[in-house]
Structure 1
Amino acid sequence: MRTTTLTLPGFRGRLLTPGAPGYDRARRVRNARADRRPALIARCTDADDVIAVLAHARSRGLPVAIRGGGVNVAGWGTCDDGVVVDLGGMKRIDIDPLARTAVAEPGVTWGEFDAATQEYGLAVPGPRNTDVGIAGHTLGGGVGDLSRQYGLTSDNVTFFDLVTADGRHLRADAETHPDLFWALRGGGGNFGVVTRFGFRLHPVNGVVAGAIVHPAAQAPTVLRTARDWLADAPDAASLVALLWTAPPLPFIPEHLHFERCAVLIPSWFGPPEQADEVLAPLRHGPARPVADGITHLPYTAYQRLLPSPPDVTRQHVYNRGEFLTDLTDTTLDRILGHWETAGPNFSVVLGALGGAIARTPAGPTAFAHRGARWFVELCAQWYGDADSPEHLAPARSAWQDLQDVTEGPYVNLLPDPEPHWVRAAYSDATYARLARVKATWDPDNLFRFNANIPPLTAASTAKENDR
């Protein structure tokens, strides 16, 4: 039943306008800092609904925001006084276990996707946060623990079905619209509304993984041990390191609840009988852990190891990700210094890259950081004042202090929307090509609530040629 008298020709989903029951809940995304009030929220059921709502927005000159999972840290899944194309209800997943392929709609979360593919012992590289939607993560490149074996999420896409800015519904793959296919694998939501993703799947039958917990004083030794281990680790091994104020999770000893500590979460996707040998340097290194939870887990249980925080709709978030070629002692000391002097709401996540990511040539996709060995996420999460300097300043100063060593920011974790930071996420050649593709498929920049790449105009082309 509709909650508003507004109707759109050809639209079969649900429409919500300000004042309608459910509107206030529907307008919120998983970052309370993005507190915006769209003129219309269109909960789509299929591609025809997307076509209808885009036609409505174009005819009235309304801004358009696209929402899949709604967890982007910049809050791009909503806007003021515009139209939110809400894809969260589009959750169909079709799996062909013999061909090892899956087709999924953009409202699917990684928790839902992994549960479906693991019924057949299959998976695709994805994030550890099960509440993240598949759409935004994939379009921004997509880094996960399986990436050292099987590449980025976007490396494993076989096709995109999408609705373009002018209302066409088409497929982009390696043979049809190859430039668009290239741009969608790393260029974010700049080029259309994806209504179906085709994925190539891989066999994943559990993982040996868990949390190795250390007190804060051991953090410098722990991170150096992890860095040195990764240099020679097989592709089937991966790692995440956390510097945080520990919540009361089952794997954290009680005396460290709400205390600062360093946690290594290694994973081994190879033969289980080899896990002890591969993970030994992390488990029995120079720093003795206070807890070691390494065990054999179903992949879905591993993905739920770090639950989402409570009451995410009231939580303010400022998380920025940077790609690093290496973790030198100097870089580690900088990161540790920021963590040690910041408040309890500041944390650091370090993720292992390399392996298959680095072996894939840079040209076939728009992802620009194949040479990075590490990913660092600098996080501030708090309640209260949305623009609290106490919480924002440590996170901002931390990433600014890394600008002389970073390869660039990660578009999926870029809360700073200034054009020069979006441009820094790509090489010059990749950015210029993305701008040309944008000019072909979205010349009026309808899709601009994202890490935006404006279309390359004739004037811009002349300026580029003069460089």
Structure 2
Amino acid sequence: MPVPGAVFPGEAGYDAARRVRNARVDRRPAVVARCASTADVLAALSYAREHDLGVAVRGGGANVAGWATCDGGLVLDVGPIKHLRVDPTTRIAEGGPGLTWGEFDAGTAPYGLALPGARNTGVGIAGHTLGGGVGDLSRQFGLTSDNLVYAEVVTADGRVIRVSADESPELFWALRGGGGVGLGVVTSFGFRLNPVRGVVAGALVHPREAVPAALRKARDWLATAPDEASLIAIAWTAPPLPFIPPALQYERGALLIPTWFGDPARADEVLAPLRVDPAPVCDGISPMTYVEYQRLLQSPPDFAEQHVYNRGELLPALTDDVLDGILAHWQASGPNYSVVFGALGGAINRAPAGETAFAHREAQWFIEICAQWYGAAANPVHVETARKGWRDLQAVTLGPYVNLLPDPEAEWTRAAYGRNYDRLVAIKREWDPDNLFRFGVPLHDAPIS
């Protein structure tokens, strides 16, 4: 059976087809199959089984570990599957796995509806959802995966099934937070949408000397803020973004982006504490649409040339000692190292433990340790700086966030899935007994072909 949209080594377009967003990942699959439909996915899987090829599934290709590609196997690229149908009455959106968050948000915004999703509009919806999915709306409406109501899945043995709470419920449980282990190919997602008509948000810029005070203020503010409020904060070397004053571009400092999704009349009251003591040198808070908000932090134009080693850790608290340690490491590190602080809590915490495969619902903070650089891919200076950053958190973290886990060792996979690990292994054995989908999160007790 021919492979749909096949590109083989040596053919025109092969190097472009095999690439993912992280330039540090450089792998050479035996074939890349660009699938535009469920029928194409079935044909590609049939070819893989016939030729004894393991399968890596690619949606947006943004995973930091490079799960969307492989050496010597078949890359099943569902990027061309981009359908989106929105029913504003039922508030259900059905979307293809090739959609990016920018495309998805643009399609739901005209109805005043949105889904908690990635802050980077170039990230695909598929991997983000299957790994749990954290977004700025999550304090109100839960994880992306909490809002998944059904999915169409092509299984390893070539069946097309619908999964939901009532149809193959164990597989549905696993897809919501554990999908990175390779359980099938999702060719359509059905999401419950939420009403979001506007946002009051913007950039608060602080110079290097004010970073500790600004982050303490942000932490204390979030502890009592309503669920309609959220926050992302970054300790970084500021890039030349439009809202960064020229004198602070390429300088160390902090960026706070607080958000208010509630009644606009309350925005000034809720956000006021973050605008004083310390006062930002630049205050860009203003009303905006949700789509405008999602575009505040875009990838650099040359992101495809950037080497990335990023890891996320989920923390139950951000104490003074923990924050001081994170910032001391950041202050001593080079300009290619940054730390992202993301607000959790709210609806994420309230969902019953064990309802989905996402394990660490008690987390209050998401800490992303980031090394991003150009030049040589295997640069130990950058990688080891980042590794020290997350290792220093191991005494206080609940575990890593599976969507940002570049380290495949067994202890980290187990830590990411926590109490759900053994259940995921059992489901993997049932739905993929020959380990056809072997290039995702490694389950070290699952069968290895």
TM-score (normalizing by structure 2): 0.98
What 5-or-longer segments of structure 2 have no aligned partner?
Answer: none
Cα contact 1:445–1:454 (8 A) shared by 2: no
Aligned positions of 1:27-66 closer than 5 A: 27-66=18-57
**Cα deviations across residues 99-137 of structure 1 (Å, max 9, x unaligned)?**
101000100000000000001110010011000000000
Name the structure 1 match of 2:429. Answer: 439
Name the structure 2 match of 1:374. Answer: 365
Name the structure 1 match of 2:326. Answer: 335
CA distance, structure 1, for counterparts of residue 300 and residue 403 of structure 2: 19
Cα contact 1:438–1:455 (8 A) shared by 2: no
CA distance, structure 2, for counterparts of residue 420 and residue 57 of structure 1: 30
Structure 1 runs, 4 residues or longer, greater than 4 Å off: 454-457
CA distance, structure 1, for counterparts of residue 138 and residue 438 of structure 2: 29
AA aligned opposite 1:270:
G
Name the structure 1 match of 2:280. Answer: 289
Query: Which range is displaced more, 88-97 or 417-426?
Result: 417-426
Match of 2:103 among 103, 112, 118: 112
AA aligned opposite 1:411:
V
Match of 2:392 among 401, 408, 419: 401
Match of 1:347 among 301, 320, 338: 338
TM-superposed CA distance for 1:276, in Å, is 0.4
AA aligned opposite 1:224:
R
CA distance, structure 1, for counterparts of residue 274 and residue 404 of structure 2: 28
**Cα deviations across residues 124-153 of structure 1 (Å, max 9, x unaligned)?**
100110000000000000000000000000
AA aligned opposite 1:16:
V
AA aligned opposite 2:226:
P
Aligned positions of 1:403-418 closer than 5 A: 403-418=394-409
Name the structure 1 match of 2:303. Answer: 312
TM-superposed CA distance for 1:309, in Å, is 1.5
Match of 1:218 among 210, 231, 243: 210
Name the structure 1 match of 2:93. Answer: 102
**Cα deviations across residues 393-423 of structure 1 (Å, max 9, x unaligned)?**
1100000000000000000000001122111
CA distance, structure 1, for counterparts of residue 91 and residue 157 of structure 2: 34
Aligned positions of 1:2-21 closer than 5 A: 8-9=1-2, 13-21=4-12
TM-superposed CA distance for 1:315, in Å, is 1.0
TM-superposed CA distance for 1:76, in Å, is 0.9
Tell me whether 1:72 sits opposite 2:63 in the alignment. Answer: yes
AA aligned opposite 1:276:
D
CA distance, structure 2, for counterparts of residue 426 and residue 252 of structure 1: 38
Name the structure 2 match of 1:201. Answer: 193
Cα contact 2:410–2:444 (8 A) shared by 1: no
3-state SS of paired residue (2:53): coil
Match of 1:181 among 165, 168, 172: 172
CA distance, structure 1, for counterparts of residue 287 and residue 311 of structure 2: 32
AA aligned opposite 1:170:
I
User: Equivalent pairs: percent with the same residue?
Assistant: 64
Name the structure 2 match of 1:278. Answer: 270
TM-superposed CA distance for 1:454, in Å, is 4.8
TM-superposed CA distance for 1:310, in Å, is 2.2
CA distance, structure 2, for counterparts of residue 197 and residue 52 of structure 1: 20
CA distance, structure 1, for counterparts of residue 381 and residue 355 of structure 2: 42
RMSD between superposed Cα atoms in Å: 1.0
CA distance, structure 2, for counterparts of residue 216 and residue 188 of structure 1: 40
TM-superposed CA distance for 1:453, in Å, is 2.2
The number of equivalent residue pairs is 446
Distance 1:158 1:67, change over 3 A: same
Name the structure 2 match of 1:462. Answer: none
CA distance, structure 2, for counterparts of residue 306 and residue 130 of structure 1: 9
Tell me whether 1:130 sits opposite 2:114 in the alignment. Answer: no
Cα contact 1:438–1:454 (8 A) shared by 2: no
**Cα deviations across residues 70-91 of structure 1 (Å, max 9, x unaligned)?**
0100111111111100011110
CA distance, structure 1, for counterparts of residue 168 and residue 443 of structure 2: 19
3-state SS of paired residue (1:88): coil
TM-superposed CA distance for 1:21, in Å, is 1.3
Distance 1:454 1:58, change over 3 A: farther
CA distance, structure 2, for counterparts of residue 268 and residue 451 of structure 1: 35
Name the structure 2 match of 1:5. Answer: none
Name the structure 2 match of 1:464. Answer: none
3-state SS of paired residue (1:423): helix
Tell me whether 1:236 sits opposite 2:224 in the alignment. Answer: no
AA aligned opposite 2:424:
L
CA distance, structure 2, for counterparts of residue 119 and residue 238 of structure 1: 23
Tell me whether 1:450 sits opposite 2:440 in the alignment. Answer: yes
Cα contact 1:65–1:447 (8 A) shared by 2: yes
Tell me whether 1:162 sits opposite 2:149 in the alignment. Answer: no
CA distance, structure 1, for counterparts of residue 342 and residue 398 of structure 2: 15
